[in-house]
Structure formats: structure tokens, C-alpha cells
Amino acid sequence: MNFALPNMILTDKKILEAIEKGGIVIEPFRPECLGTNSYDVHLGRYLAVYQDHALDAKRHNRINTFEIPEEGFVLQPGTLYLGVTEEYTETHNSVPFLEGKSSIGRLGIDIHATAGKGDVGFCNTWTLEISCVMPVRVYAGMPIGQLIYFLVDGDIANYYNKKQNAKYNERTDKPVESMMWRNF
């Protein structure tokens, strides 16, 4: 028998309940950042850019990391910036999705190229793949995205933070470059 279950997004009350029970962790947690069915996350203090202009999926592409100055930093079109969320999160029984805030989109900023979905068991800050269509100044601590949580149906055998080959488990407050090269 083939059937599809509806996607169930957690409401503000369900997100709070999951936090109280330890199914979701958000550090720091600020009640004013909790929306009707999402939680606002903020741009951390660090950005990074790749050292080389041409990247190679089979090798370790090194990055240069720098702190966003108090007066902000102007993103330039044609450059991929790696950012990081100020918030450390853990998700143990739901699937987190990171989406850009509409106000960020209206500035022409994309915060992820392809990696908007997290895995159950992901425990870390979120690296952002930031690009823009015109120069725009950004600031550490500004709202940058929102986490949306989807219910999981069924038992989980392979939590991300327990996988032997998980590449992004080391807790950090800095952006993390692609580890695709470890797949080869």
C-alpha cells in the first residue's frame, strides 16, 4: 500500500516543548527569536573565502577566515562567502531546515546554495553559503535565517552525530569549508 504522510512543521509551542524535553537545543536561546513556526538565527562573527579562485572537489580547498568588523563588511557579487550562525543547535527527533529570512532575500542575499536541510542528530553551528547579487553590507549578530523543524516518522538507526563518516561534527564558531574531498 502506497501512501504519503503530510509534512508536519513544528509550531512555536511544539518547538518550545522539544527544547524543554531536549529534542531541540538552541544556544543561545532568545524567546523573542521564536516565530509562529520557526526560530530566527543570526550571522556569527566570522566569514571565510576560499584561497583559490578555482575549486577542486577532489582536494581540500583551504579558506581564509576573518572577523566581521564592527562597522560591518560589504559582500561582493561573484564571491562565495562562508558564514556561520551565532547559534549552536542540536536536533534529536526532527529534521531542521534553514531558510533565509525574506528581509535578507530582499537585499539580494542567498544564505545557502544547496544545504538547507540538516540531519537528525546534527549538533553544531550552521555554515552558510552566502552569495549576493549586488554589494551589500552585513553585520555580525544580524538576523540571517530561520530554522524550521519537520516531524520525523519512524525510528532512526543512523543519527548524524553518531555516524563514523560524518564530516561536520566538530563544534566550531567559525565557517567550515567543504569536506567533499573526504568522499574520494
Question: Could you list the active site residues?
Answer: 129
Cα–Cα distance for residue pair 25/90, rounded to 1 Å? 5
Residue 3, C-alpha cell as written in the block? 501512501
29 in Cβ contact with 154 (< 8 Å): no
